[in-house]
Chain A
Amino acid sequence: MVAALTPVATRLALLAEEGSHEVNAGDGGWLAAWAWLIVVVPMVITFLIVFFGKRSPLKGWGMATFGMAFVAVYGTALAWVNLQDGILYEGSIEIGKIGEFPLQWGWVVDGLSIMMYFLVGVVGFLVFVYANGYMKGDVRYTWFFASFSLFAGGMLVLVSAPNLIQLIVGWELVGVSSYLLIAHYWEDFDNVDAGNKAFMVNKVADAGLFIGAIIMALSAGSFQFSEIYESMVGGNGTLAQFGFWAGLALFIGAMGKSAQFPFHVWLPDAMAGPTPVSALMHAATMVTAGIYLVARLFPFYQLPEYGADVNGIITIIGAITLFFMGLLALVQNDIKKVLAYSTVSQLGYMMAAMGVGAYTAGLFHLFTHAFFKSLLFLGAGSVIHAVHSNNMSDMGGLRKYMKWTFWTFMIGSAALVGLFPFAGFWSKDEIIASAYYNASEDPTAAAWFMVVLSIAGAFITAFYMARAVSLTFFGTYAGHGEPHESPRIMTVPLVGLAAGAAGAGLLNMPGLTEVFTDWVTVRAFPIMEHHFEAPSWGLIAIVTPVVLVALGIGFSIYRPRPTQAERDAFRLPVLYPLLDHKYYIDDLYMDGIVRPIMGPVADGTLWVDEHVVDAVPNLAGGAAKHTAAAVNTFDQDAVDGVFNSLSSATGATGGFLRKAFTGRVQQYAAISFAGVVIIAVLFMIF
């Protein structure tokens, strides 16, 4: 929520007093000018894997991992230069025109995009290395890495986009690779359904993205972010008029990709894909595309003249997502689904942070979350690899069998719940502090709602992680066979990510280090946000005890691994069924939207056939019978004749109705040509 609607200049001055960050940046030299290689290399590698992967010695894994290593090294180099001098660079090539709008392919190199290059490269590299062990012996091993490389390329197209068109292209590329990878094990129809669900839910939200992009381009006169900002600074009446709607529509697009309520339904189902996919795409990078979009448009959402009214909605959606989706993680039995709902909940934190105007805090949480959540997913994958089940009731006591996995998972959990001094502590604390600051500046109900829910969210996070860790690693082993530690190629990436999960928080300790703030605020348009000079001790004093209490309760309940009956005993009567059915949202979508649309096509015809068509002979038959009974002398043959002809007419009608669904190509062709003719006639008349 933005405070009083002050003009841009006043607000900038206000924030400068508060110690807002100053930006001075170079152009990055050849390193930035050649940054297009970051996008092109994974894309080229995708094609190489598709065509030559099966014949290459490492079956495509080598090429894919090389691509990610390249991105990681290049991203690190850019990040380094950015920290020294700052980089603000935008390269583009014009490839065509849509009407008056130039169509450009370009690459933005600034703090925000460098952060994403770094993240995709480093986390991606570790996940790709891990995938070599996890996917060993898979039927479509090469294809898996081709799709995974396609995802990396698409994600980089998205984050390097200097305009909305290229952003949409990247958006759809990651969407399609997500679909391919969720349905990777397509022999099982459930996985195919999950892929379709992810694709369709995202498509619904994407409509918002398209509409938003079009409104934005028509009112600002350009798809380029830089030109949109220029027109904003110059004062754009049209954009101010439609700003709310453009901002809202773009935010709906972001809600789909970032699985915000009520579009969150696809992400838990997306866990049907292989675990490395869940780690890289559905935790670390792809789902943060929505956060990235809002961050990219952050100046637009901050200026009260333009999109600031949307911030209230962003905050509320984020707060609802972080709290209520976190609750759902409490009742999941599948370890990946626990982590999936946790991801949705953490995405809610990031989105809400954007809503309260905490740009750096939101991105910092995105950054640390990428490390610890992909660590947790890979750890879960390692466990699944060992016990051959996703279900936590088949686990337990794995602490003794899988030392590396256990300790790295503990570090990831500590980072997620926000224990000092792990990464999540710093990033989550900054979000809560920003929410509190926002609420104290502008004390509205929604702002305080956000503060309360974000603290409650921390409690829930600690509770469900205590549950997951207890059920997985403590107690006695409840599965089959002898679990064993995963091979070295899987544990080494875990250690790498654990280092990130433990240490990433040190990049941005308020008052001590400002590396991350310096990093991501290098933007062409100044970022206006409150900058914290010191850790907010008061909030830490509230949140940390809350987390510790939640951990204590969680461990004391689940550490002994209660049996099903014991667990049933402390289930809350109303809440549990509600959570168990995911608030009935999926059922609402299926029964409320999907079936009513799909159904009538088939059911409607059936109903007409059964009721209307059958009613005609029944009624007519009944009437005829009564007539015959009343007028006994009436010629029996005539009545029969009427009856017969009526029923044969009915049969013909039914047959005619059925014909609409004959599967005969020529009838379909005839119908579509009839449509063409009708349109042509309408054209001629009007």
Chain B
Amino acid sequence: MTIVQFVLLGAALFSIGLYGVLTRRNAVLVLASVEVMLAAVNVNLVAFDVYLGDASSAGQIMALFIIALAAAEVGIGIAIVLMIFRNRRSADVDELDVMRY
């Protein structure tokens, strides 16, 4: 096995997630795409952790922190989407253009 194959997988996942973030119109799906990007980062961290054989497992610990923070992010994200939906009856990010001009 090579380190490159893991990092390339991570890069591919990240790019796919980015595409999703940029093109999805439903806010929940934008959040789902962000999760794909975060998963890509985790793949990188764990792969490099194993590659470097770090004694304090920095990569794995970081991945755990990212998982925890991602859970918090989704919680808050969904809450925000919920509030926006309550106020505007829509979860479509295109309609969130009050900052226009």
Contact = CB atoms under 8 A, between A and B. Distances in A.
Q: State if A and B touch, Cβ cutoff 8 Å.
A: yes
A664 B96 CA distance: 7
A602 interface: yes
B93 interface: yes
Contacts of B57: none
Contacts of B97: 662-664
A665 B96 contact: yes
Nearest to B95: A664
B93 A661 contact: no
Interface stretch (A504-512, A549-557, A666-674): A666-674
Contact of B99 (A663, A666, A670): A663
Contacts of B100: 661-663
Interface in B61-101: 93-94, 96-101
Given A664-B93, A664-B94, A673 B18 contact: yes
A664 B99 CA distance: 8
Nearest to B18: A673
A669 B19 CA distance: 11
A666 B22 contact: yes
B21 to A, nearest CB: 6
B21 A669 contact: yes
Chain B interface residue number, banded: 10 to 19
Contacts of A662: 97, 100
Contacts of A669: 21-22
A607 to B, nearest CB: 15
Contacts of B93: 664-666
Q: Which residue among B21, B23, B98 has the maximum number of chain A CB atoms within 10 Å of its CB?
A: B21
A662 B95 CA distance: 11
A666 B101 contact: no
A601 to B, nearest CB: 10
Nearest to A661: B101
Contacts of B98: 663
Contacts of A673: 18, 22
Contacts of B21: 666, 669
A665 B24 CA distance: 11
Q: Which residue among A665, A669, A670 has the maximum number of chain B CB atoms within 10 Å of its CB?
A: A665
Contacts of B23: 666
Contacts of B18: 673
Nearest to A670: B22
Interface string B18-32: 100111000000100
Nearest to A676: B18
A666 B99 CA distance: 13
Interface string A501-523: 00000000000000000000000
A662 B101 CA distance: 6
A673 B97 CA distance: 20
Contacts of A663: 96-101
Nearest to B98: A663
A673 B30 CA distance: 15
Interface in A631-686: 661-666, 669-670, 673
Nearest to A664: B97
Nearest to B100: A663
A561 B18 CA distance: 72
Nearest to A666: B22
A661 B98 CA distance: 11
Contacts of A602: 101
B44 to A, nearest CB: 15
B23 to A, nearest CB: 7
A436 B98 CA distance: 62
Interface string A343-385: 0000000000000000000000000000000000000000000
B38 to A, nearest CB: 15
Nearest to A668: B99
Interface in B1-55: 18, 21-23, 30
A602 B101 CA distance: 8
A614 B80 CA distance: 42
Contacts of B22: 666, 669-670, 673
Contacts of A670: 22
A387 B34 CA distance: 59
B31 to A, nearest CB: 13
A668 to B, nearest CB: 9
A669 B30 CA distance: 12
B73 to A, nearest CB: 15
Interface in A543-590: none
Nearest to B94: A664
Nearest to B24: A666
Nearest to B27: A665
A673 B15 CA distance: 11
A87 to B, nearest CB: 47
Contacts of B96: 663-665
Nearest to A665: B93
A622 to B, nearest CB: 31
Contacts of A666: 21-23, 30, 93
A664 B22 CA distance: 10
B94 to A, nearest CB: 6
Contacts of A665: 93, 96
Q: Which residue among A602, A666, A670 has the maximum number of chain B CB atoms within 10 Å of its CB?
A: A666
Interface in A215-264: none
A663 B93 CA distance: 10
Contacts of B99: 663
A535 B23 CA distance: 79
Contacts of B94: 664
B30 to A, nearest CB: 8
A670 B30 CA distance: 13
A673 B37 CA distance: 13
A665 B99 CA distance: 9
17 contacts: A602-B101, A661-B100, A661-B101, A662-B97, A663-B96, A663-B99, A663-B100, A664-B94, A664-B96, A665-B93, A665-B96, A666-B21, A666-B23, A669-B21, A670-B22, A673-B18, A673-B22
Interface of B: 18, 21-23, 30, 93-94, 96-101
Q: Which 4 A-B pairs have the closest CB atoms?
A: A663-B100, A663-B97, A663-B99, A661-B101
Given A661-B101, A673-B18, 11 more contacts: A662-B97, A663-B99, A664-B94, A664-B96, A664-B97, A665-B96, A666-B21, A666-B30, A666-B93, A669-B22, A670-B22
